[in-house]
A and B are shown apart, each in its own frame.
Chain A
Amino acid sequence: MKHNIEKIRRALYGPTLINYIVVAVIFIILFTLVSTGAVNRYISNLMILVLVMIIMSTSLNVATGFLGQLHLGHAAFMGIGAYTASLIAIGLEDAIANGFVLFLVSTAGAIVTAGVAGLIIGAPALRLRGDYLGIMTLGFGEMVKTIITNLKGLTNGAQGLYGIPRIMTFPIAFWTTVVVVTLIFLFMNSRHGRAILSIREDEIASESVGINITRYKLTGFVVASMFAGVGGSIFAFSIGFIAPTTFNFLKSVEIFVIVVLGGMGSLSGSIVASIVLVAMPELLRDFSQYRYLLYSTLLIIIMLFRPQGLMGTKEFNIPRLFKRIFGVYKEPSSKGSDS
């Protein structure tokens, strides 16, 4: 246990301290822009949408990129999270005045329901391989949509759920995203993360070195679902309105495209791809009708010419970037070979 804590501490405080400084600087810049009104409300909402997509794509990356399972129903878990969080928040709105506390409570609920849904669908589904799993998650997504539409008393059916308190502010969304991405990063670099990676590389080989495949597949899947719940919660609180069709197959595909584009197995790739693919079509309004045409063309072209995605499995490393730019110090092991 102590050993683990030490490892986590090293991962958090080691040379990556500079990462935190960079994140803080980005936050200060963006927050100043938002709070001084230098960017309008539309742009600041767009920034929150980008953050939601970052959560969604990094969490899907756990299931698809690291675990190597074709998961085509991620938006369904987002929907489950969004509906849970909204219903809790609507119920507790009068009891809890503080928006942040309300957000925490309802997000906790969203994590639980999305995680349980992931467990229920994952336990049987992960026995299947590749394409069958994809179809099953797809079918599950459609089922969730139908169920949400038909539970009229609870979810207001196809008309969608109105009157969700819009308690989302930029700082809450930003720091939640930072926490989620950090947790996923730590998870993937832990023992469990390595086990998950080994399953992607070779199931049979990893089973023969004693990795419980079913357990780790399920762990990866449930972790992905739980964070999808967080994404759904932020989404619901920033838009204030959700409908079953928001979380359809196209949404799942959109998240999937981002993961593939950024590189399956690269968290930073997912982040960059989320920023580019969400912000770009929104900013180029005239272009937005070609959005899905662009997505699909990108998917095909990437698969044909660069199947590993833009970043492959590499991570974007700020400390190394600093070293490259400023030449602060050379890595001691860089004899002859490029790091």
Chain B
Amino acid sequence: MELFINQLINGLNTGSIYALVAIGYTMVYGIIRLINFAHGEIMMFGSYFAFIFAYMMPFELPFVAIIVIAMVFAALMGMLIERIAYKKLRTAPRISALITAIGMSLFLQNLAQLIFGATPKVMHPLVSTEPVVILGYNISLLTLLTIGLSIFFMVVLTLFVRKTKPGKAMRAVSQDKEAAILMGINVNKIISLTFAIGSALGALGGIFYAMAYSNVEPTLGVMPGLKAFIAAVFGGIGNITGAMIGGYLIGIIETMVKAYISSKWVDAIVFGLLIVILLFKPSGLLGKNVKEKV
């Protein structure tokens, strides 16, 4: 039982990261119907930004400042990528936009390799990993912070999308772009905003991921990016709440498989899960089934 609770906490930790990254996938998909393959790389760059501001600056910054700066930079980067690569292809066939996204993902990976080198950089957790005792269980402060901050940002995001005017505009654009234009919504701005929010949350996920494994490398974003994507599909792509639930589910499933079945087969099992989901319920847990019109 104790092992189970510990694994559950680990699962929540991994799940928080996946959920943060999955939100970016799902928001972008919801608004321009594009799987942003480069999202995992934004996550990776986010952790590099944090690394730079934590270790390569002449002055020392508090943890919160590092996180905020990295998220802002990642948001700018996401907006820039959208402007350069995706904007022109909004009306193009979907396969073209997808290929561009794959190209962008590879490009960013190799760019990072060029700038920072292929060898992983050691990133010590920026907060103490001292265990805190809660109800008799030892939980590290980092884990607590990961789960807590993730949930905080998810709540803020949900409130933002539900209650504020830009949030409403965002939902309007994802429902019907043309009608949104007629209502006087600046679609370009809303798409940029979506990319910015998604990238910032992805970067946060990347920072936590890098601290959990205490290194940063150019291929850091590939695997968690794919898993987060699976989470987004699991929850119903395009649905923000679905992405959060999917993220936590995939995180917990992965940790449980690692703990109780086999750590070697975990990737095969998670990808197998994706295939099963796609086959039996392609719209995901909370997604809507869209009928095709002739």
Contacts and interface: CB of A to CB of B under 8 A. Distances in A.
Contact of B275 (A124, A296, A303): A124
Contacts of A295: 103, 106
B107 A136 contact: no
A246 B260 CA distance: 30
A130 B267 CA distance: 23
Contacts of A101: none
Nearest to A260: B99
Contacts of B127: none
Interface string A219-230: 000000000000
B199 to A, nearest CB: 18
B100 A303 contact: yes
Closest 4 CB pairs of A and B: A299-B103, A296-B106, A296-B107, A139-B271
B271 A143 contact: yes
Interface stretch (B51-59, B72-80, B87-95, B132-140): B87-95
Nearest to A139: B271
Contacts of B94: 130-131
A2 B111 CA distance: 58
A300 interface: yes
Contacts of B110: 290, 292-293, 296
B271 to A, nearest CB: 4
Interface centre among B103, B272, B274 (most CB of A within 10 A): B103
A255 to B, nearest CB: 12
A135 B229 contact: yes
Given A293-B111, A300-B85, A131 B98 contact: yes
A143 B273 CA distance: 11
Interface centre among B88, B102, B264 (most CB of A within 10 A): B102
Interface residues of A, number: 41
A124 B282 CA distance: 12
B285 interface: no
A125 B93 CA distance: 21
A128 interface: yes
Contact of A136 (B99, B103, B274): B274
Contacts, number: 112
A256 B114 CA distance: 23
B294 interface: yes
A303 B106 contact: no
B95 A136 contact: no
B173 interface: no
A307 interface: yes
Interface string A98-136: 000000000000000000000000001101101110111
A47 B88 CA distance: 38
B96 interface: yes
A303 B97 CA distance: 8
A70 interface: yes
Contacts of B267: 142-143, 146
A150 B102 contact: no
B182 interface: no
26 contacts: A125-B278, A127-B279, A128-B282, A130-B95, A135-B233, A136-B274, A140-B275, A142-B267, A143-B268, A143-B275, A146-B265, A150-B264, A253-B102, A256-B102, A290-B114, A292-B110, A296-B107, A299-B99, A300-B85, A303-B96, A303-B97, A303-B100, A303-B103, A304-B88, A304-B89, A307-B93
Interface in B106-143: 106-107, 109-111, 114
A299 B100 contact: yes
Contacts of B109: 292, 296
B35 to A, nearest CB: 5
A138 interface: yes
